[in-house]
Amino acid sequence: MFAAARVPLEAAVKLLDTLGRPLHDLRISVTDHCNFRCGYCMPKEIFGSDYPFLKREQLLTFEEVERLARIFVGLGVDKIRLTGGEPLLRRDIELLVEMLARIPDIDLTMTTNGSLLAHKAQALKDAGLKRISVSLDSLENDVFTAMNGVDMPVEQVLKGIEAANAVGFNPLKINMVVKRGVNDGSLLPMARYFHHSGHILRFIEYMDVGNTNGWRLEDVVPAAEIIEIIHAELPLEPIEPNYHGEVAKRYRYLDGGGEIGIIASVTQAFCGDCTRARLSANGSVYTCLFAANGFDLRELLRGGANDREISQAIVAVWSQRDDRYSENRSSETVGLPKVEMSFIGG
């Protein structure tokens, strides 16, 4: 077991970037592989059989991930989300969950496409995972299979949701990326299906992450339009966020049927409250979803650096952070080089 970085609490409180934003959330990509080829993330025209995915030796080991996670927690992180690619493709992922679950006082979560969740839900629960978010872009098979690019039937994901619910992952968060002319017709069917389900459906504006998804502003269905469509049939009212910096704006059904969330990073940017760092599967830390470059922590890990030296490197990176891409988004910024979402986990 590696020792955690010994950073005093007062130092963690003072760890702010140039805009005064603290470091609270760490998203850890455990693999750059995925069994889906969603057009907004890993279009199959680009991510084909000859795409240069990371080799096994390039990935952080579970021990390296745990060591970095403990160092980040020593710097103020209290929420860790495992992502990919598709995290359930990483062999023995439940062992990593068990290792991370031993770190005191963290909220340990995962985002998955749900296709393998029916087989993994119990193991993840037993290992100590606290919450799960499942990506699901439509309930209509023709729409869903067209979007996932591999003809994966929606029933497979629904089985995963059912299995996760059965072992105690509730409420689940169900994430739907909305693209105009593709799955915007699924907004109401999704809302109806998860109304009174106990789960939280979250609608995500289609974003210009990476450089391969062919993003256009006209493909975005604005959050205000999404709310208007749902409210017309299932009346809603806004509710307060669960915590400062929560990315989803929350609404509840007036009939008591639960709540939904809207992640509107295109039309209602929330950069000012962003407290998230992202760790790629090969050990680079990125300070923005739309960043072009990361800082290599794997080199420090494998080069013999001690925990304090790694901690100091992270402090240096975060304290210089000035990212606010979504607030600055324009026709000029959209074409700038950006890391692909599948590489750092969205």
Domains in the chain (CATH in brackets) are 9-344 (3.20.20.70)
Strands (E), the chain: 25-29, 79-83, 107-112, 131-135, 173-178, 200-205, 236-239, 249-253, 259-263, 276-279, 284-286, 295-296
Cα distance between residue 40 and residue 32, in whole Å:
15
Distance, in Å, from the CA atom of 170 to the CA atom of 81, rounded to the nearest integer, reads: 16
User: The tokens of 77 are what?
Assistant: 């992180």
Two structure tokens written together for 257: 């049927």
State the distance between the two ends of the chain, measured CA to CA, in whole angstroms.
29
- pLDDT per residue of the chain (346 residues) written in tens, 0 to 9: 334 444 443 344 469 999 999 999 999 999 999 999 998 888 898 899 889 999 999 999 999 999 999 999 999 999 999 999 999 999 999 999 999 999 999 999 999 999 999 999 999 999 999 999 999 999 999 999 999 999 999 999 999 999 999 999 999 999 999 999 999 999 999 999 999 999 999 999 998 776 777 788 899 999 999 999 999 999 999 999 887 778 899 999 999 999 999 999 888 888 888 999 999 999 999 998 888 899 999 999 999 999 999 999 999 999 999 988 777 776 556 666 768 877 887 6
pTM of the predicted structure, to 2 decimals = 0.92
Tell me which residue of 66, 61, 75, 62 sits closest to 25, measured CA to CA. Answer: 75
